[in-house]
Amino acid sequence: MNRLTKDTVSDTRRKYCEFNHLQVGSIVFEDYSARNFDRPEWQKLLANCRKFRGQTQQILFTKWDRFSRNTGDAYQMISTLSNLGIKLQAIEQPLDLEIPEQKMMLAFYLAAPEVENDRRALNTLQGMRREKKKDGTWVQHPLAIRTQKMSLERRSYSLSSLWQTL
């Protein structure tokens, strides 16, 4: 993240906190993907929350996709933080999780980034296959591997009978 972006994010968070009369303990920047919580700065933050239990009341972040891009891990971390007495809030996607209907929006905010990652991975794979096909390289599995799959599916194909039909 470049310095201008860090300054902008920091300024946005501070203004949000001033407007909502929240005291800022620290601002943490993480340059790792939110795909999971094995992120150095997040681990430090979580360790401090456990060490100084009861002193942190809320963790703010810009959007829910900055918190996590994995739905299952996100719910688990929300539970962990809730057990520590810590509430979570996205500045640009605020939710009041005390209202039951807001949990549907939380589900959407947490699932959308994971779906986006999966779609991006599929599009990348399809693009790679398309390029390989253009270059004349073989994209599908060789015939022998395909016949093994057929026999695993309880079909009565053998390699020799396939060669005879070709």
- pLDDT over 60 (residue 49): yes
Give the single-character DSSP code of 69.
Answer: S
Same domain, yes or no, for 156 and 122? no
| 136 domain residue, yes or no | no
Residue 83 lies in a domain: yes
**Residues 152 and 96 occupy one common structural domain:** no
- Band the pLDDT of 155: cuts 50, 70, 90: very low
Q: Residue 33's domain spans which residues?
A: 3-130
Task: Give the least confident one: 4-8, 88-92, 149-153.
Answer: 149-153
**In CATH, what number is assigned to the domain containing residue 104?**
3.40.50.1390
- 135 part of a folded domain: no
For the entire predicted model, the pTM comes to 0.68
pLDDT digits (tens, 9 = 90+) for 82-128: 999 999 999 999 999 889 999 999 999 999 888 888 888 888 888 88
In the chain, the number of structural domains is 2
Alpha carbons 138 and 160: distance in angstroms, whole number:
22
Asked whether residue 79 falls in the same domain as residue 160, the answer is no
Give dist(CA 55, CA 37) in Å, integer.
Answer: 22
120 and 150 housed in the same domain: no
